[in-house]
Structure 1
Amino acid sequence: MSTRRDTDDLRAHCTVDTDGRITFRLRLRSPGRPRLALVPRPKKNRPERPAHLLDLEPHGDDGEVRAVLAPRPELTEGRWDAYLLREPDAGRERLRPGLRDLRVLVDGTLRVGLPPVAVRVPYATKDGFLAVRAWLRTAHAEAGRLDLTDGAMTVRARLYGAELTDDAEVLLRLRGDRATVRGYRPRAEGNAFDFSVPFAELTAAAAGNQVWDAFLRPAADAPLVRIGRLLDDMADRKTVCVYPESAVGGAVLRPYYTVDNDLAVEVTAADRPR
């Protein structure tokens, strides 16, 4: 005997507009009073947080229903799994991704308004379900082109959510040791800036394998702003944006993006396995 679960194709199509609004569409044979639930994925050993619920309204005459995730209120930073609730008291059914129209995000032209900087990117999980990756930051430094030449890394970036001043400084901080930092004066034009990091300065700070995380301090005594790449269509760029290694002295260095799409530099001793 067939049921609604095996006759409905629980695939949600997504469209993102330039303001960050996401429209979800799917077809249901018996719509009822459905809602779309975005459930924040709990961190290890943490309880599940409340879901963000969206009403699914009829749209057209072919059984399609639609829900809109507006730019405000923002989703807290993390990964949000998408589910269907057919009725208010019904169990959750995991949604699979349909067509994801992310064209407005491809060239990094997402409109970033007043702080905080809120970014949401629909994506397919490794096990084939629909989720939304969300970032929510008071300010953000968006990394652009990254060049590796003559044993140094040069990065072009733009600051959002804060003002860049003459006292601005780029900091690379040794992960696990907040006291060990290397500072670099950015070259700025408005809120666009670039900076260069000689790799030899990172290899001299500590022995063995290490990771340096990149930050911007927009003004003297201002809070640190993470440098990363969030404003395009890529929810997970760690294994996609792979930069070549540079050998400096007895170490091998490689810039990379973390699981949160933040910029870091990995330093590996040449005589140690990587």
Structure 2
Amino acid sequence: MSSPLRTESRAGCTVDAGGRITFGLRLTSAARPQLLLRLRPKKGQPEEVTHLLDVEAGDDGRLIAVLPAGLTLCEGRWDAYVLREPDGRRERLRPGIRDLRALVDGSSRDRSSPIAVRVPYVTKDGYLAVRSWLRTMHAEVERIQAADQSVTVTARLHGRSLGQGATVRLRLRGTSTARTLEPEVEGDRRSFSFTLDSSELVDVGGDNGVWDVFVLPEENAPSARIGRLLDDVADRKGIFVYPSITLGATDVRPYYTVDNDLSLEVTRQN
């Protein structure tokens, strides 16, 4: 039988529609506490980026720390710690109640550039962290339909409008191989859709590989990744699972990556 988690410092949090996060801390014997957010470094790399937030007494007497909407977080995962006094020892924070209701319909309003998204979540080992995305522009998936041999994706571009020569590009990961599609663009020049015949991926890239999906808002413009970021789900990969399309001995399946970006996986059946 696994042992229960030790009682440790905790922080709940509330996110408003503008992206501000208010942390409510439950602490004992803390003289001048601070909340520390640390950008989790890649494996084998040193820590490089942190943010310190002051902890103050709120109107109801609780201890609170505020991450303002205007404070930019680099894209990545930010682990939360408490320092009971300045320059004190770091202590990981366990999560309290997370009120993310303001994020649920985040895709319903247009975002200007840069697109900054922050979603508090609980790590696999039970600690509080914040998942952050920061992009010049982003195409938010609204619907994915997989039927017969085709995949149809409906999305909306944030941070820029679609101009003449807009295209959707699928790129076979690790190669220069690409497939280009012309999307159907709505009159507002933001919403668009495209339909892909899955057999084309197999014909072009073989029966094993991953295709990443981008939109180019106009000819020769920088591309934007297509994915789903604008709600309260920090890790979508294992939650939103789509059926595979079977083509003979090969399966084609749309899925979300660990960064919540859209890709298509081509796999040969065993």
Q: TM-score, normalised by structure 2?
A: 0.93
2:251 equivalent in structure 1: 252
In 1, are the aligned partners of 2:215 and 2:226 still within 8 Å (CA)?
A: yes
Counterpart residue identity of residue 88, structure 2: A
Offset at residue 33 of structure 1 (A): 1.5
Counterpart residue identity of residue 198, structure 1: D
1:106 equivalent in structure 2: 104
Q: Which moved more, 1:228-237 or 1:248-257?
A: 248-257
Instruction: Spell out the pairing of 1:59-208 with structure 2 (5 A cutoff).
Output: 59-60=58-59, 62=61, 64-109=62-107, 113-177=111-175, 179-189=176-186, 190=188, 191-208=190-207
**Superposed CA offset, 1:84-121 (max 9, x none):** 01111201000011100011112334755431111000
Shift of the 161–45 alpha-carbon distance from structure 1 to 2, 3 Å rule, reads same
2:33 equivalent in structure 1: 34
Distance in 2 separating the partners of 1:269 and 1:223: 33
Corresponding residue SS for 2:85: coil
**Superposed CA offset, 1:105-138 (max 9, x none):** 1233475543111100000000000000000111
Q: Which moved more, 1:238-247 or 1:160-169?
A: 160-169
Distance in 2 separating the partners of 1:61 and 1:266: 51
Counterpart residue identity of residue 41, structure 2: P
Segments of structure 2 that go 5 or more residues without pairing to the other structure are 1-5
Offset at residue 61 of structure 1 (A): 5.9
Corresponding residue SS for 2:17: coil
**Superposed CA offset, 1:254-274 (max 9, x none):** 10000000000000113x4xx
Offset at residue 59 of structure 1 (A): 1.5
In 2, are the aligned partners of 1:155 and 1:196 still within 8 Å (CA)?
A: yes
1:216 equivalent in structure 2: 215
Segments of structure 1 that go 5 or more residues without pairing to the other structure are 1-5
Offset at residue 208 of structure 1 (A): 3.4
Instruction: Say whether 1:261 aligns with 2:229.
Output: no
In 1, are the aligned partners of 2:148 and 2:245 still within 8 Å (CA)?
A: no
In 2, are the aligned partners of 1:36 and 1:84 still within 8 Å (CA)?
A: yes
Shift of the 242–61 alpha-carbon distance from structure 1 to 2, 3 Å rule, reads closer
Q: TM-score, normalised by structure 1?
A: 0.92
Offset at residue 165 of structure 1 (A): 1.1
Q: CA RMSD in A?
A: 1.6
Offset at residue 30 of structure 1 (A): 3.3
Counterpart residue identity of residue 85, structure 1: L
